[in-house]
Amino acid sequence: MKRIIVTGGLGQIGSELVPFLRDKYGRENVIVADIRAPENVEDVEPFITLDVRDEEKIIKVIKEYNVDTIYHLAAILSARGEQNPQLAFNVNIVGMHNILEAGRKTNIERIMVPSSIAAFGPETPKDNTPNDTVLKPRTMYGVSKVTGELLALYYWEKYGLDVRGVRYPGIISWKAPPGGGTTDYAVEIFYYALKGEKYTCFLREDATLPMMYMPDAIKAITMLAEAPSDNLVHRADFNIAAMSFSPKELVEEIRKYVDFEVEYKPDYRQKIADSWPRSIDDSAARKEWGWNPDYDMASMVKDMVKNLKKKLGL
Ligand code: NAD
Ligand code: AKB
């Protein structure tokens, strides 16, 4: 029987990963942990308040709940990280190290931890970016993601601790808001479009980035969690791809459903976007654990519009 803890479980991805895991393993076997309190604790119980900067508490919780698997989602994302790099270092790098140490000391069976396309930098090839390539990010978030990937490999080879992860592109979803990233525009824009309000985009109209719809993001991390270890050459650094588009292309697709006005006022986040790839080669994930996405831009937009209309009562 699996006993799972999801750190950062109240965030954009946790809000959808937790119900998926609970359907599969039973509500009581999936514990949500986060530094902030949920709006309504009954909705998410079992819930614990946990700061991943506190290794002792992580170990205490693992023992108390008999945890064998950790989905480690707690993080400070790229844009927020550039506003407070010291916080990003502590949560993302010290927090990741704490999770690994706690996992090692308590013989945890598996740790799943997302990396990001933010692991890449300006010297990385921008199109069809290979899995194994130059990793010289210029954001603290990106530095923390490369560090996490390398620590995962180190703990696997040194201690046999099974740590796995994918490099997520920007994730688009309608249930919970994104938490302070460079790709957040691709979620925000839907709310403005559907309410008929003018949207001011913080990226240039031609800023093409790799993106993925939430159902594929959940599919990827849970598929990798179950892949036979012997098939894996990579560990916590799998490229995965689904779609790539620019703000202008997204606007054109949304306008097939609803008309709205957009202006472009690039801010500090444009520089971050400029350092990331436009498209991703995910052949290693396809070969090693059978990855393939279900959604492209057209099917994602159709589903977002349908679900958000319902959510907003439109
Ligand atoms: P999010 O910002 O929506 O959620 C992160 C959660 O972590 C929040 O609920 C926050 O309260 C919590 N948190 C922050 N500091 C904490 C601390 N010290 N201790 C415990 N919890 C803390 O992020 P997300 O989008 O759900 O991302 C989850 C993971 O996926 C992260 O590792 C992120 O880097 C990665 N990722 C996300 C995306 C994306 O587009 N959403 C893309 C690539 C990678
Ligand atoms: C961000 O923009 O910071 C995230 C990511 C791609 O890691 N969405």
The domain locations on the chain are 4-169+214-239, 171-211+243-312
99 Cα–ligand 1 center, Å: 14
- Say whether 264 is catalytic: no
The CATH class, in words, for 4-169+214-239 is alpha beta
Ligand nearest to the CA of 53: 1
Integer-rounded Cα Rg, in Å, for the chain is 19
Ligand nearest to the CA of 49: 1
Q: How many CA atoms lie within 13 A of 94 on its CB side?
A: 13
The pLDDT value recorded for residue 1 is: 67
Give nearest CA residue, ligand 1 atom 28.
73
Give nearest CA residue, ligand 1 atom 29.
73
Q: What is the DSSP letter of 93?
A: I
Give nearest CA residue, ligand 2 atom 4.
181
79 Cα–ligand 2 center, Å: 8
At the topology level of CATH, where does 171-211+243-312 sit?
Answer: UDP-galactose 4-epimerase; domain 1 (3.90.25)
Q: Each residue's pLDDT tens digit in the chain (314 positions)?
A: 689 999 999 999 999 999 999 999 999 999 999 999 999 999 999 999 999 999 999 999 999 999 999 999 999 999 999 999 999 999 999 999 999 999 999 999 999 999 999 999 999 999 999 999 999 999 999 999 999 999 999 999 999 999 999 999 999 999 999 999 999 999 999 999 999 999 999 999 999 999 999 999 999 999 999 999 999 999 999 999 999 999 999 999 999 999 999 999 999 999 999 999 999 999 999 999 999 999 999 999 999 999 999 999 99
Looking at this protein, which amino acid is placed at residue 74?
A
Out of 141, 185, 199, 295, the active site residue is: 141
Helix spans in 106-213 (H): 140-159, 185-195
Ligand nearest to the CA of 9: 1
259 Cα–ligand 1 center, Å: 32
Closest by alpha carbon to 10, among 39, 51, 42, 53?
39
59 Cα–ligand 2 center, Å: 28
